[in-house]
Amino acid sequence: MDKWKKRVAMFALVSMTLPATLQAEGDIEAGKEKAGPCVVCHGKDGRAAIEAYPHIGGQHEAYLVYALKAYKENLRRGGQAAIMQGMAANLSEQDIADLAAYFASLERK
């Protein structure tokens, strides 16, 4: 199974196994207040100025939650994973939900 198919399968599995009641609801304004460290690499509007960093503005909220949880649990490797693992390590479920809600609310460019 290639890398992309593994990622899609992992996302589907995580999405199906986490009941909606266990997922925190994100608050856009709270996410905006917490996004300071994120904007250094990903940009204020979620559009990274440096090619090595992904654009996350307008990304699907569920994907952002999945990605942050995967970094927090050290399930993602390669690329900037080491940096993101450190950034996500101390995020609470609510922090993750808020950040995902905020970046998902931004216009995708």
pLDDT of the residue at 78: 87
Amino acid present at 68: L
Which residue ranges in the chain fall short of pLDDT 70?
1-23
pLDDT of the residue at 21: 40
pLDDT of the residue at 79: 87
Q: What is the 3-state secondary structure (H, E, C) of the chain?
A: CCHHHHHHHHHHHHHHHCCHHHCCCCCHHHHHHHCHHHHHHHCCCCCCCCCCCCCCCCCCHHHHHHHHHHHHCCCCCCCCHHHHHHHHCCCCHHHHHHHHHHHHHCCCC
pLDDT of the residue at 41: 95
pLDDT of the residue at 36: 96
